[in-house]
Amino acid sequence: MLNLKTDNIGHELRWQQWAAKALFFVGGFGCASWAPIVPMLKERLALTEDVLGMLLLCVGIGSLLTMPFSGAAAGKWGCRRVLVTAGVFYGMVLVLLSMVQSLYMLVPLILLLGGLMGTIDVVVNVLAVIVEKRSGRRLMSGMHAFWSVGGFAGAGIFSVWLNLGMNHFQAAVVAWGIILLLLAVFRPHLLDNGGEKREGSLLAIPRGIVIFIGLVAFVSFLIEGAVMDWGGVFLTSVKHFDMSMAGVGFTVFSAAMLIMRLAGDWAVNRLGGPAVTIGGGLLACAGFVLLIFAPEAWLLYAGFFIIGIGSANIVPVFYSLMGRQKVMPLNQAVSAASTLGYLGILMGPAVIGFVADSTSLYVSFGMLGMLAFSQAVIAGYVYSKVL
């Protein structure tokens, strides 16, 4: 009887782990499904580049409006209810965006899309920390890998549907259907728990060691956003690559991130969190140095790969650490750190552009290298306080 009970507990834990991974997949899948809708909207509504840029900024604004409150929502209603509700509306908004005919309808829908993205991002990380603690072993890197898997799947499948003759509305409906199917299958295994309920603390403001964890997330997301938006410009404008090769750097970086996150839990178990985070920051710094000084194309690609390998597991390991700090309730800590991290995504491309305009992209990428080095320093400090 005892063995049967233990087997049942272990079976349910595995389902809880896969349920968390499925929701990470949903986050990445929905984000990637939104990307092909953007050029369609630009053409349908005859949007100029500056207007489109402002509209895309609304995605980030929407996320920043919900992320500080998402931890409190998880604490009050539980991860399951928040994630399922947000997931259902996430897919629905994608369908509505594929149908929109007016700029006046587009703005609130994009804000809502960003808000749902931010909510899912925060609450799924709260869920992952709780599941990891229940499981008693490292899981966070593998969880984050499923966001990347969802992104690759969404981008690839959506493109296939469009190439098969579907219009954007039909493709969005199928994407919503996939999201609803995943939610239906895994909903019973999503935890009701969502962290500590605390009256009067709806807004998550980082305190103590959570500030430093948030700074690490800020730098990580800033680097990721900068490589995504400026990596191709660096290759074509500074290293004089052909325009057709502009996206190779970010592709190599993304592949390295995915590979290392899939292997991340094993690496943390073998090497330890300090080695992975401190070493990862130093490795990413070395990658930027290689980008700046590399004389050959293959060394430039190696630089992007090294940055991806180094950066891949820093944020997942630090999200795990939030389950061990005592300064803030878990749900509030994840919400606060995620908000700081997302500011890095929004600010990164603009800051890089400003510095490059004042000096050069070499200086901008050198600054990114120094920020990667600062991650190693902050990581060492955080481990000295948390461990």
pLDDT tens digits, 293-316:
988 888 999 999 999 999 999 999
Is residue 282 over pLDDT 50? yes
Confidence tier at 158 by pLDDT (50, 70, 90) = confident
Mean pLDDT of 54-61: 83
Is residue 109 over pLDDT 90? yes
> In this prediction, what percent of the chain has a pLDDT beyond 70?
93
Contact between 253 and 304 under an 8 Å Cβ cutoff? The reply is yes
What letter does residue 265 receive in the DSSP assignment? H
Contact between 261 and 319 under an 8 Å Cβ cutoff? The reply is no
Q: What is the CA radius of gyration of the chain?
A: 21
**In whole angstroms, how far apart are CA 125 and each of 119, 289, 301, 366?**
10, 32, 31, 31
Alpha-helical regions (H) of 234-329: 248-262, 264-271, 273-293, 297-311, 314-321
Mean pLDDT of 185-209: 74
Q: Which has the closest alpha carbon to 85: 202, 194, 169, 170?
A: 194
Mean pLDDT of 110-133: 92
> In this prediction, what percent of the chain has a pLDDT beyond 90?
41
Fold of 209-386: Growth Hormone; Chain: A; (1.20.1250)
Confidence tier at 238 by pLDDT (50, 70, 90) = confident
Round to whole Å and give the CA distance between 319 and 324.
10
Higher pLDDT, 202 or 167: 167
Least-confidence region, from 27-31, 71-75, 383-387: 383-387
pLDDT computed for residue 33 by the predictor: 86
pLDDT computed for residue 8 by the predictor: 57
Is residue 122 over pLDDT 50? yes
CATH superfamily of domain region 2-189: MFS general substrate transporter like domains (1.20.1250.20)
Backbone φ, ψ for residue 203 (5° rounding): -90, 125
pLDDT computed for residue 86 by the predictor: 96
Is residue 199 over pLDDT 60? no
pLDDT computed for residue 195 by the predictor: 60
Mean pLDDT of 120-124: 93
| Helical pair 79-99 and 168-186, crossing angle rounded to 10 deg | 170
Confidence tier at 200 by pLDDT (50, 70, 90) = very low
User: 3-class DSSP state for residue 371?
Assistant: helix
Is residue 23 over pLDDT 80? yes
Is residue 377 over pLDDT 60? yes
Please check whether the two domains, 2-189 and 209-386, share a CATH topology. Answer: yes
Q: Where are the domains of the chain?
A: 2-189, 209-386
Higher pLDDT, 86 or 47: 86
Contact between 226 and 347 under an 8 Å Cβ cutoff? The reply is no
Is residue 335 over pLDDT 50? yes
pLDDT computed for residue 11 by the predictor: 76
pLDDT computed for residue 387 by the predictor: 58
Confidence tier at 116 by pLDDT (50, 70, 90) = very high
Per the prediction, the chain carries an average pLDDT of: 86
141 CB-near residues (< 8 Å, 6+ apart): 260, 261, 262, 263, 264, 265, 267, 268, 312, 313, 316, 317
Q: If you count DSSP H runs as helices and E runs as strands, how many of each does the chain have, helices first? A: 15, 0
